[in-house]
Amino acid sequence: MNYVRQGVVDYATAKWLLLGAIPAIVVGAVAAHAVPTTLLTLAFGVGLLALGAFLVLHDSPEECVPGEGEGAFLEEKNAGRGETTIETADGESFTYETCWRPPGIGLATVGGFITGLISAGLPEITTTQLIVRCRLPPRVAIATSVFVLAVAALAGAAVHALAATSVWYVVAWSIPGVLIGGTVGTRVGKYVPSEIMEPVLGVVFGIVGVIVLGSELLV
């Protein structure tokens, strides 16, 4: 059993995701200076809509009939790998089957490459696959996804900073929003039940997808 205290991040899973995300985000950052971004942005918007719809419409583990469909397949792949237990600083405890990690590395690689190209994609793909494939509680999935993004993004940011002139005033304006939003979101997330947070994430992904597509198609 993996046991982690005083945190919500599943570090054991995160380090495997980083194996795919870090090299991919560097490759994506390098490729971003040679690939047109319009097509990539449109593809990302469509992908967000698909991820959002999947989170809203897919069957939760409680609704999956044993021996049928994707739920049984995922449970079989996750079975036999032990359990992970995370106890948070506020006393809440999460216990779940340790995830089957090889597919996660592949998905993190795809998300990292997309993030290197257009600075988005890794957290959305990581959060979705941790909830849907690994059956992690949304609070743990989100925290783990943010941790993976924070570490991997440093590598991508370094490549972009060396290859182009950064717009530092935009960076300066963004930092307070990220800090405030991350702090408030973390605190609010403690009180939102998993069965509500999952479809809410899907709706948020869908809204962002519409905004991304609208910003490209309506300009």
| pLDDT for the residue numbered 92 | 77
Distances 15 to 57, 62, 100, 132 between C-alpha atoms, Å: 29, 28, 13, 19
- pTM assigned to the model: 0.70
Name beta bridge partners: 2. Answer: 84
CA distance 130 to 105: 11
How does 98-115 read in b/e, with b if 16+ C-beta sit within 10 Å? Answer: bbbbeebeebbbbbbbbb
CA distance 168 to 180: 19
Q: Are 105 and 86 in contact (CB under 8 A)?
A: no
| pLDDT for the residue numbered 17 | 92
Residue extents of the structural domains in the chain: 2-210
pLDDT tens digits for range 41-58? 787 788 778 877 877 776
Q: Which of 21-25, 80-84, 85-89, 124-128 has the highest mean pLDDT?
A: 21-25
| pLDDT for the residue numbered 19 | 92
pLDDT tens digits for range 132-172? 888 888 888 888 988 898 888 888 777 766 765 555 555 56
What average pLDDT does the chain have? 75
CA distance 24 to 29: 9
| pLDDT for the residue numbered 18 | 92
